[in-house]
Amino acid sequence: MPSFDELLSGKGVFVDKSVLSPHYIPETLHFRDEEIRKIMLGVAPVLQGTKAKNLFIYGGTGTGKTSSVRQVIAKLKERGVANVYSTYMNCRVYDSRYKVLQKIISDFKPHFSKTGHSFSVLYEELLDWLEQGSGEEKKGRHLIVALDEIDVVKDLDNLVYTLVRINDDVQRGSLAIIGVSNKVNFKQRLDPRSKSALYEEEVVFQPYNAEQLSGILRNRAASAFEKGVVDESAVNLASAIAAGENGDARYALLLLLRAGELCEELPDKKISDSEIERARKLADEDKAFEVISTLPEHQQLLLYSLACLAEDVSYRKLVEDNGEKLYFSGEVYERYASLSRKLGRDPRSSRWYREYLNELELLGLVQMVGSGKGVRGHTTLLKLAYDAPRVKKAVEKTIMAE
């Protein structure tokens, strides 16, 4: 049996794995100079003692929005201007107007109680803090609030209206919002008053192309891996794959990370195209199982029923096509209905069942095939797109755990 010392003494492939993390913020953000410049222009007025612009930033996942905003906030803090403040929060955690105000106040007045105060008390406390100051701060404080994933805030209109209204209620100081979202249609959720207040300036982050992704990966790989571990062709392949996935740099970095983890098990410790392809399969499975955990209850039960059928070695009523096992849609429905009743749920009708199948096929979780020769009549045959044990495990972690 090996010891930990023996395992750790061997040369690995990584120098600093954290460089490939989606939470890592590089000192230089490549291919986003223009977007960063626009954000800096929006916040620059606070350095001259006036209110910053309200900014709305949107673009797909992995296009550098969060890193750009955090980099600008860091640059602002480096200036050390006495009456300029900023705060960043992820709205998946701070998902209501009350929580956002509470977070702002606790960031700058830690002695102030975090809970138990009414909204009006929090609001007045924030007004007082913006207006008050000492020494060079007598003109009031200027605050920039960066709200990442702002679209998930439950009472979004109330939040935007409140934060914007603060500027009408203070005689000195100001507050500006930087809202960040992946969803372009986020605008439709706001009433006209909030929309006009929030969108003083928009910054759009376009997806990275394959050449840009290659540049990003080469730069990160140089810090993340031992010299000579990553083949140039592997970098290009990961970049091309991610460019086809909406230009998502996070996905490209994940491919490189997973390929590195796979490579550690190989004798030659080299990341080639084959490791990227294997990493792609694992990453796609991870994404699929994340999707499964968020599906409505009856769609999860349907997937679970199909997975159980696929694992049932005694089940003989199936069709084989080039070695792949296909299951009759009607048989799957019977399994689903039986499982639903066993769990105390009323099974959905066959019409809803067909709708669920169509949605699951669109998500790439199930494949539907029309019956051909050798099958009496016309029926739909089903198969899972992923391994049955892993599908079952994903469902068992959510609704089956109840």
* Helix 97-108 with 156-169: angle, nearest 10 deg: 50
Residue 269 or residue 220, greater confidence: 220
The set of long-range contacts for 30-35, using a CB threshold of 8 Å and a minimum separation of 24, is 30/212, 30/215, 30/216, 30/219, 31/64, 31/208, 31/212, 31/215, 31/216, 32/64, 32/67, 32/68, 32/205, 35/64, 35/68, 35/203, 35/205
Tokens standing for residue 278: 């294997």
- pLDDT level of residue 6 (50, 70, 90 thresholds): very low
Phi, psi of 152 (to 5 degrees): -90, -5
What's the rounded Cα separation, in Å, for the pair 143 and 103? 13
- pLDDT level of residue 301 (50, 70, 90 thresholds): very high
Residue 285 or residue 197, greater confidence: 285
What's the rounded Cα separation, in Å, for the pair 222 and 229? 10
Cβ(207)–Cβ(248) below 8 Å: yes
- pLDDT level of residue 197 (50, 70, 90 thresholds): low
Tokens standing for residue 49: 């003692």
Mean pLDDT of 297-319: 85
Q: Is the pLDDT of residue 116 over 90?
A: no
Cβ(29)–Cβ(36) below 8 Å: yes
Give the neighbor-by-neighbor strand order of the sheet with 380-384. Answer: 318-321, 324-328, 380-384, 366-370
Cβ(159)–Cβ(100) below 8 Å: yes
Tens digit of each residue's pLDDT (9 = 90 or more) over 321-378 = 666 788 889 999 999 999 999 999 999 999 999 999 999 998 889 999 876 545 554 6
Task: Count the Cβ atoms, other than its own, within 10 Å of residue 201.
Answer: 16
Dihedral of CA atoms 30, 34, 40, 44 in degrees, nearest 10, equals 150
Give the C-alpha distances (Å, rounded to integers) separating 89 from 104, 226, 343, 388.
9, 35, 40, 39
Cβ(183)–Cβ(213) below 8 Å: no
How many degrees, rounded to 5, is the angle at CA 356 between CA 352 and CA 360? 175
Show the beta-strand stretches assigned E in 230-276.
Answer: none
- pLDDT level of residue 222 (50, 70, 90 thresholds): very high
Complete domains list, the chain, with CATH: 33-205 (3.40.50.300), 209-292 (1.10.8.60), 295-401 (1.10.10.10)
Dihedral of CA atoms 319, 320, 324, 325 in degrees, nearest 10, equals 30
DSSP letters, 276-299, are HHHHHHHHHHHHHHHHHHTS-HHH
Task: Count the Cβ atoms, other than its own, within 10 Å of residue 325.
Answer: 14
Amino acid (one-letter) located at 247? G
Tokens standing for residue 249: 């740099």
Mean pLDDT of 16-21: 94
Cβ-Cβ contacts under 8 Å for 268 (sequence gap 6 or more): none
